[in-house]
Chain A
Amino acid sequence: MGEKPAFFDEMRHPEGSARQPYAQYCEWVESVETNDLRKKSREAEKFFRRTGITFNVYGGKEADERLIPFDLVPRIIDGREWRLLARGIEQRVKAINSFLHDIYHRQEILKAGRIPEHLISQNAAFLPQMIGVTPPGGVYTHIVGTDLVRTGADEFFVLEDNARTPSGVSYMLENRETMLKMFPELFSRIKVQPVGNYPTLLRRSLSKCAPTHCVGRPTVAVLTPGLHNSAYFEHAFLADQMGAELVEGHDLRVVDGRVAMRTTQGYQPVDVLYRRIDDDYIDPLNFNRDSLLGVPGIMDVYRAGGITLANAPGTGIADDKAIYSYMPEIVEFYTGQAAILKNVPTYRCSQPDTLKYVLEHLDELVVKEVHGSGGYGMLVGPAASKRELAAFRAKLEANPSNYIAQPTLALSTVPVLTRAGLAPRHVDLRPYVLVSPDSIDITPGGLTRVAMKAGSLVVNSSQGGGTKDTWVLEE
C-alpha cells in the first residue's frame, strides 16, 4: 500500500504544519485537552436535542427524530479563497436565471444548437405550464445551494446546482450558534465573517420579488409538507426567524383570484410563498392529482401574476444532472465569459460509446440518477461490492439515459473529533445564495457536510453524514 497522501487535507500540509487559514485554530486546538473537546461535543449534542434541531428519517419504523451529527472542528476558508468562490457562484447563478428565462421563452440556446433539444423537451423537469410565464421581478431561483467540492489548494468543482428547494441552511445557522456558545474565546481571537443575518436577507430578498400589485409590506409565508417531513424543523425555523407564517396546503385556498391563508379572522391573501414542496405536489389541479400537500389552482393564480412562488416552478430543469454537464456552455452563452468554477467531468450514459466506457470502468466511477437527490440511488464504484456493481450494471443497461457518471473525486478532508482524537474525513460545501431583482447575496461560508465514516465519500445526512460550522475569515 502506498503511503502518499491521496487527499488534500484542508487543515495541515502533508508534513504536518498548519495551512494558513487554520494557523490560529491549530495553535488553540493544540492547547486544549481532547477530553475537554469531548465534553463540549456532548454539550453540543444536548443543545441540539433541546432546541429540537432534528430531522425525520424516511422509511424508519416509526417517525424517527434524529440528530444530524455535528462535529465541532470548524471548516475554515480564508477571505481570498472565498472571494474567488463567491465570484464563480454569482456568475453561475446569474447564468442559471438567464437560462431559465430563455428556456421558457425564446429558447435561443436551443436555436443556437448549444444544447440538444430533446434534453429539454423530453425532460420531466421541464414544465410546459411555465412557457411564456415571467415570474415577478424576473427571478426564477430565489434561493440556490451550490454544492462545491475541493480536491486541492486551488481546485474547486461544482458538484450540483440545487436550484429547486435547497435545504440545510438552518444547520448553517444553528451550527454557528452552537459554536458561539461552546467556544466564545475562539471567536474573540479569530475574526470570522458572520452568517446570522441570513433570515433577514432572505425576508428582504423575497419581499423584493413580491407581485407588482402588492403595496406596503408583503405577506410572506413558508409552505411546508408538514410535521412529518424530514426538514420540518428547518421550515419552522426559517418561518420563525423571518417572522413569516408557516402554512400547510390545507391552510391555503384560492379566494377571489388570490392565494389566501385561513386565519382566525378569515382568509387573508399571501403575496410571497416560500414553498418547500416539489413542483409536482404544489397544485393537484395542474400537476399531480393525488397531491394532498398543495393548493388547488395556485398555478393559475401564479400564471396571472397574483403570487410569487420561491423558487419558481420549473427551475428543476436547471439543476437536472443531464443539463449539468452543459453548464460550462450555459455560463458562456449567457455571460459571454468562461465559467470561473469548474464542472466535474460528466459522462452522459445516454450516448452508446460513453455507456460502454462507463460500464467498463464502473468500479472507478460515481454513477448518479439524473433526477435523484439525497444520495439515494447512487453508486460509488470504488466503495461498492461485486454484487452491488453487478446490480447497478443491470440498472444502467436497462435505462442508460437515466444515469450520468463522474470520476470518483478525491474530496478534500478536514479533521473530525473521533474516539481516537482528531482524524480526517471527507467534506463538501453548500453555500447559500439569495437572488432578488437587483442583488445576489451569498452568505460567507455555508453548510459543510462531512462523511463521518473513515474513507467514505458520501456526505448526505440521509446516509449518515454530519455537518460542521464553516468559517470564512475576515480579510
Chain B
Amino acid sequence: MLGKTAGGLFWLSRFLERSENTARLVEAGFRMALTRAASGEDEWASVLTTVGCRDAYLARHETVTPHNAVDYLLRDKTNPMSVYSVMRMARDNARATRTALTREVWEAVNDGWMLLQDMLKRPVPQTELPVVLSSIRQQGAVVRGALQGTMLRNDIFDFSGMGSLIERADNTARILDVKYYVLLPTGAPVGSSLDNVQWEMILRSASAERSFHWLNPGNANPKAIAEFLILDARMPRSLAFCYDGLISCLTHLEKDYGDRRPSHDLAARLEAGLTGRSIDDILNSGLHEFIREFLRDNAAIASQIETDYRFYE
C-alpha cells in the first residue's frame, strides 16, 4: 500500500472519531448547562479547553456564551477543530483514499458530509441542537458500521483502526486532563450533589454513563470512575481498551509485513504501564501527571507510526 494512502486512512479515521467526540462533548456541555443553576459558562470553557480551541475561541469572542461556544464548536469554518472543519477534512481524506475504501464506506462518509453541510448552513437554534447532535453521532455510527461490515481485514483496516484508537485515547485523556481535580480523592465520604453532576458530565463525555452504572449500581465515586476510564479494557473508550486495540493492529502489521517497527515497541511500553498498574498506584503518584504523560506518549506514538509507515516523504 502507498504510504500516502496509509496516512490518508489513518487521518480519515482520526477526523471521523474527532467529529464524533466533539459532538459528544457539546452534548454533555449542553446537558450540564440545563441541569446546573449557574450559567454554564465554566462548563463551556472547559469543553473548549478539552477540544483544544479555547485560546482561539477567545481571540474571536470576548466572553464564553453557550450560543457562541456551540457555534464555534460546530460550525465555525475558521476553527480547524469545529465539527464542520473536521468532517470536511475527513471527506477530503476519504476522496484521497477512495481506492482503498469500499463503496459503502465512501458513500457513508460522503452522505454524512452532505447532511452536515445542510444542517450547519445556519446557526443551530437551541431547540434543534439535540437533533443535530444526535444525527452527527448517527452518521459516525453509519461509517463505523460500513467499515466493520464491508472492509477487508488487511493493512487498510489496521491503519484506519489505529487512527480511531489514537484519537479516541487522546480524547478520553483530554477529558480527564481538564476534569482531573473532580476525581481527586477527598476526605468526604459522600460526594456533594455538585460532584455528582461533574462526575456525570465526565461519564457522558465518554459515552460511559450507562456502562458505568451497570458495573457500579448506585455507587458513583471518583476512584471507580477514574479506574473505569483509564484501566477497564472492557470499556471501548478507556485508555486500556484503546491501547489493547492499537497493539493488536500493530501486531497484525508486524505479521503482514514481516518486521516490527519502533512504534510497536513504544506502544507496547505504554500498554504495559496501563495493564500493570492499579488505580491506587496511579492516584498516589499523581493523576494529573499520569494523564499529562499519557497525552505526550500517545502523540509521540502517533508520529512514530507516521514515520514507520512512510505517510510522508
Residues in A lying within 8 Å of B, measured CB to CB: 49-52, 227, 232, 236-237, 239-240, 244-248, 250-251, 261-266
- With A236-B99, A239-B99, A263-B310: A52-B106 Cβ-Cβ less than 8 Å: yes
| Binding-face segment, B107-115, B126-134, B183-191, B218-226 | B107-115
Q: Determine if B30 is an interface residue (Cβ-Cβ < 8 Å).
A: no
- With A49-B114, A50-B107, A250-B313: A264-B95 Cβ-Cβ less than 8 Å: no
Number of A-B contacts (CB under 8 A): 60
Most buried by B among A52, A227, A248, A251: A52
- With A262-B313, A264-B257, A265-B257: A52-B4 Cβ-Cβ less than 8 Å: no
A-B contact pairs, 28 of them (CB 8 A): A49-B114, A50-B111, A50-B114, A51-B107, A51-B110, A52-B95, A227-B92, A227-B96, A236-B98, A239-B99, A240-B98, A245-B5, A246-B2, A246-B99, A247-B2, A250-B313, A251-B2, A251-B3, A262-B3, A263-B2, A263-B3, A263-B310, A264-B1, A264-B2, A264-B3, A264-B6, A264-B310, A265-B257
The 7 A-B pairs with the shortest beta carbon distances in the complex, nearest first, are A264-B309, A236-B98, A240-B99, A262-B3, A264-B6, A246-B99, A239-B99
The complex places the Cα of A262 from the Cα of B306 at a distance, in Å, of 13
Q: Is the CB of A245 within 8 A of B99?
A: yes
Chain B residues with Cβ below 8 Å from A265 are 257
Within 8 A of A (CB), among B48-81: none
The complex places the Cα of A232 from the Cα of B110 at a distance, in Å, of 16
Most buried by A among B4, B92, B96, B99: B99
Q: Determine if B227 is an interface residue (Cβ-Cβ < 8 Å).
A: no
- Residues of B within 8 A of A (CB-CB), count: 23
Chain A residues with Cβ below 8 Å from B257 are 264-265
Within 8 A of A (CB), among B93-122: 95-96, 98-99, 103, 106-107, 110-111, 114
Q: Determine if B155 is an interface residue (Cβ-Cβ < 8 Å).
A: yes
Q: Is the CB of B99 within 8 A of A251?
A: no
- In the complex formed, the residue of B with least CB distance to A221 is B2
Residues in B lying within 8 Å of A, measured CB to CB: 1-6, 92, 95-96, 98-99, 103, 106-107, 110-111, 114, 155, 159, 257, 309-310, 313
A51-B107, A232-B95 given; 18 more Cβ-contact pairs under 8 Å: A51-B103, A227-B95, A236-B98, A240-B99, A245-B99, A246-B99, A247-B4, A248-B4, A251-B3, A251-B4, A261-B2, A263-B3, A264-B155, A264-B257, A264-B309, A264-B310, A265-B257, A266-B310
- In the complex formed, the residue of B with least CB distance to A247 is B2
The main secondary structure of chain A at its interface with chain B is mixed
The main secondary structure of chain B at its interface with chain A is helix
- In the complex formed, the residue of A with least CB distance to B257 is A265
Most buried by B among A49, A50, A232, A261: A50
Chain A residues with Cβ below 8 Å from B95 are 52, 227, 232, 236
Q: Is the CB of A262 within 8 A of B98?
A: no
- In the complex formed, the residue of A with least CB distance to B311 is A264
- In the complex formed, the residue of B with least CB distance to A243 is B99
Chain B residues with Cβ below 8 Å from A247 are 2, 4
The complex places the Cα of A52 from the Cα of B96 at a distance, in Å, of 12
The complex places the Cα of A264 from the Cα of B5 at a distance, in Å, of 9
Chain A residues with Cβ below 8 Å from B110 are 50-52
Chain A residues with Cβ below 8 Å from B99 are 236, 239-240, 244-246
Chain B residues with Cβ below 8 Å from A251 are 2-4
Q: How far is the CB of A247 from chain B (nearest CB, A)?
A: 7
The complex places the Cα of A248 from the Cα of B92 at a distance, in Å, of 15
The complex places the Cα of A49 from the Cα of B4 at a distance, in Å, of 26
- In the complex formed, the residue of A with least CB distance to B98 is A236
